Chains A and B, each alone.
Chain A
Amino acid sequence: GAVVSQHPSWVICKSGTSVKIECRSLDFQATTMFWYRQFPKQSLMLMATSNEGSKATYEQGVEKDKFLINHASLTLSTLTVTSAHPEDSSFYICSAREGLAVNLQFFGPGTRLTVL
Chain B
Amino acid sequence: SQKIEQNSEALNIQEGKTATLTCNYTNYSPAYLQWYRQDPGRGPVFLLLIRENEKEKRKERLKVTFDTTLKQSLFHITASQPADSATYLCALDADSNYQLIWGAGTKLIIKP
Contacts and interface: CB of A to CB of B under 8 A. Distances in A.
Interface of A: 4, 6, 32, 34, 42-44, 46, 49, 57, 91, 93-95, 97, 102-110, 112
A16 B89 CA distance: 34
Name which of A93, A94, A102 has the most chain B CB atoms within 10 A of its CB.
A102
Contacts of A110: 41-43
Contacts of B45: 107
A95 B43 contact: yes
A103 B42 contact: no
10 contacts: A4-B43, A34-B99, A44-B102, A46-B102, A91-B41, A102-B32, A107-B43, A109-B43, A110-B43, A112-B41
Name which of A44, A102, A104 has the most chain B CB atoms within 10 A of its CB.
A44
Given A42-B104, A102-B32, A102-B49, 10 more contacts: A4-B43, A43-B102, A43-B103, A44-B89, A44-B102, A95-B43, A103-B100, A104-B46, A107-B43, A108-B43
Nearest to A109: B43
Interface string B93-112: 10001111011110000000
Contacts of B82: none
B43 A105 contact: no
A112 B43 CA distance: 11
Given A43-B89, A44-B89, A91-B41, A105 B102 contact: no
Given A43-B89, A44-B89, A32 B98 contact: yes
B42 A109 contact: yes
B104 to A, nearest CB: 4
Given A43-B105, A102-B93, A107 B99 contact: no
Nearest to A51: B97
B52 to A, nearest CB: 11
